[in-house]
Amino acid sequence: MRSKIGVLDLQGGVLEHLTHLEALGLEPVAVKKAEQLEDLAGIIFPGGESTCMIRLLRIFELEVPIKEAFSDGMKIWGTCAGAILIANEVVGEKPNLQLMNITVDRNAFGPQIDSFHETAVIPAISDEPLELTFIRAPQITAVEDEVQVLHRTNGIVTAAETENCLATSFHPELSGSTAFHRYFAEKCGVSVKQNSTSISDKAWMQRKR
Ligand code: GLN
């Protein structure tokens, strides 16, 4: 029975996602092994380094089981590097898992030193303004017909979804808002506590593994 939300726990910003899901009253699974995919209604691929993450997915023999779980109904949200992993096309590079009909351009918002925040209302996600953090972020440069654009940053697509995938160039898990995590959980059919909308900034720094 697919009833839980997982976070791929190989590399990158894992704790931040786990903390947000816990704030919603969920018991997320930190996924390192293929058998952990069996219970999952959805999995979050965190930000980090997509080249490193795809190598680890192969070393940990998760690439094929993830594709199988996806075919069996598990939904995927890719944040930043995670969005690069699921994209069908990556500009100038070999694509990775090819689960979402978008094209991404890695590091197209510039190097680490050009990291930035944007505050924006994304109506599909929340009526409240959300703080969006971009760190060596990819741009979503093309979307096919079945893809809904959720947000544009200076005219560039930075959040999009299909029936089974959500992709964000930015990191909602680095803000105190749980709106994106709630949205993804509900997209996966997992119900969350109604009263939790935010957590204290940097709460994940206190979280023990
Ligand atoms: N630039 C990284 C990559 O291409 C993504 C950065 C991030 O996840 N913050 O994988």
Q: Where are the domains of the chain?
A: 4-208
Q: Are 138 and 84 in contact (CB under 8 A)?
A: yes
- pTM as predicted: 0.96
User: What are the DSSP calls for 88-107, one per residue?
Assistant: EEETTB--SS--EEEEEETT
Q: Is the pLDDT of residue 195 over 70?
A: no
Q: What confidence score (pLDDT) does residue 197 get? A: 74
Query: Which atom of ligand 1 lies at the shortest distance from residue 53's CA?
Result: 10
Q: How far is the CA of 120 from the centre of ligand 1 (A)?
A: 21
User: Mean pLDDT over residues 170-186, rounded?
Assistant: 96
Q: How far is the CA of 146 from the centre of ligand 1 (A)?
A: 25
pLDDT band at 201 (very low <50, low <70, confident <90, very high): low
Q: How far is CA 16 from CA 69, 75, 82, 183, 193, in A?
A: 24, 19, 14, 16, 18
Query: Which atom of ligand 1 lies at the shortest distance from residue 79's CA?
Result: 8
Q: Identify the three-state secondary structure at position 1.
A: coil
Q: How far is the CA of 97 from the centre of ligand 1 (A)?
A: 16
Q: Is the pLDDT of residue 20 over 90?
A: yes
pLDDT, mean over the chain: 95
CATH topology of domain 4-208: Rossmann fold (3.40.50)
User: Mean pLDDT over residues 26-41, rounded?
Assistant: 97
Pocket mutation for ligand 1, best pick of 14, 16, 17, 49 (most atoms within 8 Å of C-beta): 49
Distance (Å, whole) CA 69 – CA 58: 16
Radius of gyration over alpha carbons of the chain, in Å? 15
Q: How far is CA 124 from CA 178, 180, 187, in A?
A: 14, 10, 12
